[in-house]
Structure formats: structure tokens, C-alpha cells
Structure 1
Amino acid sequence: MITRHISTTTWKAASRSSVRFSRAGYGIVRLRALATLAEIVRSDDTFGIPVVDFGRFRTNDPAAKLSTAKEVVDAFKEVGFVYLSNHGIQDEKINNAFKKSKAFFDLPEEKKAALAWEDPRSNRGYVQQGRERVTQSSDAQEIAALREKAPDYKESMEIGRDWDATWKNQWPQEQDAPDFKSTFLDFFKTCHEFHTLVMRSIALGLSLPETFFDDKIQEQYHNLRLLAYPSIDTRLLKAEGSARAGAHSDYGTLTFVFQDSVGGLEVQNPHTKQFHAATPIPGTIVVNVGDLLARWSNDVLRSTLHRVVAPPAHNGPITPARQSMAFFCNPNGGAEISCLPTCLKEGEKPKYPTVQTEQYIVGRLRATYS
């Protein structure tokens, strides 16, 4: 199936007679008589992840900010994913982060193993290939069986806020990975600042004060994950139940995905349950809703299943190596997550009980790792 990316102007007005899509290859295709995003994504023939120009939110124009906020929230309501262009994070910074990430994963195994991930409360350090098995299951025996039968074909390095009084990051020696620590301390800070902006757009789009979330996320209780997917026999990836990362949702508020050009990320159409490729688009960041934000919004915003598989267009015997970086955004650790006031209709009850951020995320992580 051809991947489609819905342009920012696609669903703005029901009266428009045509819809613009940016397909793989970034040509423009027009489809008649589809006016709203809700109509577009309900069919696998027209499903796409919206592309929103976030530069318009970064202006001082209230009208531009509000219209962009509504586009972001509409994308999260119907798909759970969006591509943000003109996001303000410099290409040079992203490219340098990829370079330093690759240099780390190229280190000898014993150097990386010395930094091993140890505790879900910390969620910091190196995770060797096969240790994590992402899944929607919370049953320890089922996850162990899945890990044995079809492990995730990836390795990762987990980085948290560096000033935490209890949990410390696992940094490689400077001589082993020059500028690794300084690069990712800066990248972590940049992603948090971007998180604040995107959450402000969500607040406006949900008819909340723009700064509603500011004091609920300022502790930077986030996780930066560097990911390396080694080259692999394509037959292994296409075996039943196998994937570079199995189908799952994320845990927190938002996830920012920086991906290279290889591809393989797939997003489930929440309306039909079919998976579609999230083809890399240069200059964009893929952003998706996590489970805590879905709970916070009473499922007004969708936490959508996604996975990493062999790229759809790849038919060779060896699937090439892939790099990505995921910034998992979370509310403050002690934040109590309960239904937002604008996400509950009159007479309606919240779908979920109140949950504390740290307890929820640590519980999910504990089930995920062996």
C-alpha cells in the first residue's frame, strides 16, 4: 500500500472540493469529495498521518497559533500521530546526535555491557539486543514467552534527567565516546523545551489555558532512548510474530521520534486495525500520543499502536541497519493524572481512575524487561 501523508490544509474546511496528500516521494495527489480528517482516516485507501506546519504555532500570531493547535489536536483525536514540520530543532543538532549515537553503538560489547540497564525505577543505561520485548501484555509469563520466541531485534541506550538525586545516568567514558554526554544533555534539554511547546498547543486545542500543562511537566521526568537496529536476515523479521519492535503503545504524554531514511516504522489505523508505514519525511519529527495523555484526555486523544518491521519496499535478503531516537515525554513523577475538565461531557464519568505518573510508568517498565 502506498503511504500517504496528509498535508496541513487537508481537513481545514468541509466545503473544500479536494484534499491534498503528500505521498512517499512527496508528490501531491488530489482526491475528490473528502473534506474532513475523520472521513479520510476511516478508510485504509485514504488513511494517512497528517503533516502539520508547527512553525505557525511558534509565532506571536494568536490566530495562527490557535488554528495550528486545532490541527495538532485533530490529528491526535483521529490518528494519534502527526508529522511536525518547521519544529525549530536544527538539522545540525539532530544529525550530530545521530552521529554520536552510532559511535556509541559501534563500541565493543563489553564497553556497552558495563553500562547495563538495571532498574525500572531508574530506566537508565544500555539494553542489549533481546532483553526488551515491547508488547501490550502485562503478564510476565506471556512476555517471557514472547521474548523467547520473537525477541525485539534492537539495542538501546536510555538517558534520563541528569540531576536526579536518586538515579544516575550511565555515561560512557569520554575517551570511549567523545562528546557523547554533552551532546545528549543538550539534546535532552532541547526536546523538553519542544515538549513544552507541543503541550501548549494541545492545551489550546482542548480549550484549556495555553500554559495549563507547564507546571505539570517542568520536572523533566522524561526518557531519551537511542536505538540501533542491526542489519538482519529479512526472513527473521517476516516470521510470524517477529519485528524489530513489536506492536505497542507508549507510556507517557508524547513521544518524539527522530528516524533515519531506512524506514520500517508502522502505525495502526485505529479505525480498521491495519498497519501503515510512517515513511520518513526529511525535516519532520513524528509525534505520537502516549497512554498517560490518552487517560488524561479520557481517550479524546488516541494512544495508537505502532511497531518497527522490515521496510515495506525492501525485498532483499538482508534488511539494512536502522537508527532512531525516541524522546519519551512524561508528566512530573508525582503528578496525579485524572480526566481533564474539557474532556468530559456533561453527565459523563471518567473512564479511568486517577493514577500517579511514576507508579504507572515503573509498572509498565517492570513488565517489559526481563
Structure 2
Amino acid sequence: MAAQQEESLLARCEIPIIDLAHIGTDVCPMKSVLRRIGQQLFTALNTKGLAVLVNHGIADEKLKAVYADLDNFCALPDGCKAQYLRNPENNHGYVLPGMEQFDTTKKELRHLFNITSLSAASMPAQEEVPEFTKHAVPLAQDLTNLSRVILQALAYAMGVPPSALLESHAGMLQASGANPSTMRLLYYPPVPPEDAGPRRAPDAPHYTRCGAHADYGTFTLLAQDSEGGLEVKLNGSDKWQKVGHLPGAILVQAGELLASWTTNVLPALVHRVVVPSGAYARARGRHCVAFFCHPDNEAVLPPLPLRAPPDAPPPAFTPHTHLTLHHRILNAAHHLQKRFRETYA
């Protein structure tokens, strides 16, 4: 008997799938394809909050290689990992479980390594994780290039010159430190067995993998394995729903800065990662790679002539005080630093 398919948004075909075949490169894109994809992406982010990208050109083997490297890093002695702890000034480095917290009622189980610089000196040493830099740098470059394609597609859909968005995001993963864009490698370890079952001790900690939040920047690209656990609240809904898995696909979702800049026409997607049910799933780790695309710290984003699609009015706009001042977006660096202070212990 065939295994029953998990009930999820992807299984129900409720997430738009956008095919990037024939789009060209970020330096020389096919403009007609770029315009079509931009409109598809704009509509998806406006109505759903996320989309799935296929034929994006990033090989699954590259992702599996960095997953293995992160596993090897997490297996290092604590004292060795400690020398790579996250630097608050540039957000680069290792974050151990509990350092970043979104749900204060549960213990969040995840290891992550933020990459904001591609310098070999900022990566784990070769004698500790031999191929970390060799695998991480090309993947970061691929995700940066894909982000540049998405920026140009969105620009067409929003009625601004593609060059304007490229210029305001020009410093992604460059050594200058003028842009906070980040490639994040994540490993969610197995859940301790005492967390489940009728014999669970009353004082035992409750666990989750990542509490509910929206990302902070322009948009996020997310590649994940098949272990599951990602849940979202679609635009206009308060119901948590499983996303599911499409092999080889990359998710794209709007962040808080894009939501504020578009006056919530493209709302930031609220999401979380829960502990799966079942002993087998709970005993397995989960891996993913997230690329957080941010504007440059001092970027001036171009004014938007956009309007919501006629049959898809945006949700009511309720700006966060740290995002807006008289309906004008604050400096991107100020917003990001405030959000880091709220989530890092």
C-alpha cells in the first residue's frame, strides 16, 4: 500500500509554483521572461505570501554538501565551536541553541551558522571542517545571483527600474559590511525523548524548533530537506498550515522591509518550524539553508507607483513602530539592529 501523502499546502496545490527556466542570468536576463515571472511573483506574494521557485539552477548536491559540513561543524567540541560564535557587529558566525529566541514559552532547538562574509578567514578552519569554505562560498554566490534575478523581476512588477533595486541591494555578501544580507545554514537536532508521551515529567521543558516570526529584510529564499515542520499563516489567515516539500524547489517569501516599503501590499509571511509528530520523525534532524536578502544599510529605496491587483486587495496595513515614521521607511540598519536586540539573548 502506498504511503499516505502528508496534508500540506503543496500537496493541495495551494502555493504558486514559478518556473525560472529560460530566464537567463542576473547579469543578462531575458527581459520578457523576467517580466512574466515578476508578475507571477508579485501576485503570489500579494495573495499567498510565498511562492515556490523551480528550475532555478542551484543543484541539490550543493545543498547536501553544506548540510553535511554543518553536521560536521556541530559535532566539534564546544570549545572549538565557541571561537566561531556570532559577531554582533556583522551577524557572522555560529549561533548555538537558545541564543536566538522567538518563542519564550519553549526551548528552541536549532544550530545555525550565519554567513555575511565570504572571506576564508571568517569560516571554520580547514583542519576542523575541511570543505566548509569550498562548499559554502559557491552556494552563497549562487543564492546572491538568484536574489538579483528576483529583485529585477519584482522591479518590473512594481513599476520601478530594475537598476534601482539592484543598486539599493548592491552590497550583498561583500566585504565592505554595508549590506546585512546573510546566508544561514540551519540544523535542527532530534528532539529529546522526554518531550513526548504520557510519562512526560511536569517540569520537563517544552520544545519547538523555531518560534513564530516574520523575516526582517526584503525577501527570503529557503531551501529545505524533506523532514518537514515548516508552517505558515497565509496572507489574511490566522490558521497555521504545513508547507510540505517539493524536491529541488526553493521557497521565496516577503520580509518586513518589503512589507513596509509596499505599504503591506506584499505582506511579510509569518512562519514557524514545529517539532514533527511521531517517534521516527522526532528522532531525525532537519536541515535547511536560508538566504536573507536585505537592502544596503544606507539605501534609499525608490518610490513605488504600484497598486494592488484589482481582485486582490491587500490586508489592512498596521505598521510596526520600529518600521515606519510618518509612513516612511526607517534606515534599514536601524530596523535590523532593533530586531536583533529583540531576538538574540
TM-score calculated relative to the size of structure 2: 0.81
**What is the CA–CA distance in structure 1 between the aligned matches of 2:302 and 2:260, rounded to whole Å?**
7
Map 1:118-133 onto structure 2 (within 5 A): 118-119=87-88, 121-133=89-101
Q: Which residue of structure 1 aligns with residue 321 of structure 2?
A: none
2:135 to 183, 191, 201: 183
Counterpart Cα distance in 2 of 1:317 and 1:190: 31
C-alpha spacing 1:61/1:129, structure 2 compared with 1 (3 Å) = closer
CA apart distance, 1:172: 1.6
Name the SS for the 2:37 alignment partner.
helix
Match runs of 1:12-31 below 5 Å: 23=11
Q: Is the 8 A contact 1:52 1:82 kept in 2?
A: yes
In the TM superposition, 1:106-255 aligns within 5 A as: 106-119=75-88, 121-134=89-102, 146=104, 149-162=105-118, 170-220=122-172, 221=179, 222-233=181-192, 236=195, 242-255=207-220
Stretch deviating more after TM superposition (71-80 or 329-338)? 329-338
Q: Which runs of 5+ in 1 are unaligned?
A: 6-22, 24-45, 136-145
Aligned equivalents of 2:233 and 2:125: distance in 1?
Answer: 40
* Residue 292 in structure 1 maps to residue 257 in structure 2: yes
Distance 1:68 1:96 in 2: 29
- Residues 1:3 and 2:1 are matched in the alignment: no
Does residue 48 (structure 1) correspond to residue 27 (structure 2)? The answer is no
Pair 1:65–1:172, CA change in 2 (3 A): closer
Specify whether residues 50 and 237 from structure 1 end up closer, same or farther in structure 2 by C-alpha distance, changes over 3 A only. Answer: farther
Shift of 1:91: 2.5
Matched, 1:92 2:61: yes
Query: Which of 350, 356, 370 pairs up with 2:331?
Result: 356
Distance change in 2, residues 1:317/1:192 (3 Å): closer
Provide the residue aligned with 2:274 in structure 1: 309
Cα 1:308/1:321, change in 2 over 3 Å = same
Which of the residues 13, 33, 57 maps onto 2:23? 57
User: Do the aligned residues in 1 keep the contact of 2:255 with 2:268 (CA within 8 Å)?
Assistant: yes
Give CA deviations for 1:227-255 in whole Å, capped at 9, x if unaligned. 11110047738999852000000000111
Distance 1:63 1:159, change over 3 A: closer
Closer/same/farther in 2, CA of residues 73 and 333 from structure 1, 3 Å limit: same
Aligned match of 1:104 in 70, 73, 83?
73
- One-letter amino acid of the counterpart of residue 283, structure 1: G
1:340 aligns with 2:304: yes
What is the SS of the residue equivalent to 1:183?
Answer: helix
Q: Which amino acid aligns with 2:297?
A: G
Supply the distance in 2 between the matched residues of 1:276 and 1:4 (Cα, whole angstroms): 7
Distance in 2, matches of 1:231 and 1:261, equals: 15
**Contact 1:298 1:339 (C-alpha < 8 Å) held by counterparts:** no
Give the number of equivalent residue pairs.
Answer: 311
Secondary structure class of the residue paired with 2:245: coil
Paired with 2:136 and 2:78, the residues of 1 have a C-alpha distance of 21
* Change over 3 Å in CA distance of 1:235–1:266 after alignment to 2: farther
Deviation per CA, 1:292-350, whole angstroms, max 9, x where unpaired? 111111111110100000236x46583421111111110011113575233599xxxx9
Residue matched to 1:72 = 41
| 1:9 alignment partner in structure 2 | none
Deviations 1:65-121 (A, max 9, x none): 3222211111100121111000111223222222222222222222112211241x3
Match of 1:12 in 2: none
TM value normalised by structure 1: 0.76
Q: Judging changes above 3 Å, is the alpha-carbon distance between structure 1 residues 202 and 280 closer, same or farther for their aligned structure 2 residues?
A: same
- What amino acid does structure 1 have at the position aligned with 2:183? L
Mapped to 2, the partners of 1:340 and 1:240 lie a distance apart of 47
Structure 2 unaligned residues grouped into runs of 5+? 1-5, 173-178, 198-203, 310-323
Change (3 A) 1:195 1:112: same
For residue 171 of structure 2, give the secondary structure of its aligned residue in structure 1. coil
CA 1:235–1:251: 2 relative to 1, 3 Å: farther
Q: Identify if the C-alpha distance between structure 1 residues 237 and 284 changes in structure 2 by more than 3 Å, giving closer, same or farther.
A: farther
Partners of 2:117 and 2:207 lie apart in 1 by 33
- SS in structure 1 opposite 2:276? coil
Give the equivalent residue in structure 1 for 2:320.
none
SS in 1 for 2:155: helix
Question: Aligned to 1:280, what secondary structure does the other structure show?
Answer: coil
Which of 257, 262, 278 is the matching residue for 2:227?
A: 262
Which structure's relative contact order is higher, taking Cα pairs within 8 Å and 6+ residues apart?
2
**1 CA distance for matches of 2:106 and 2:192?**
14
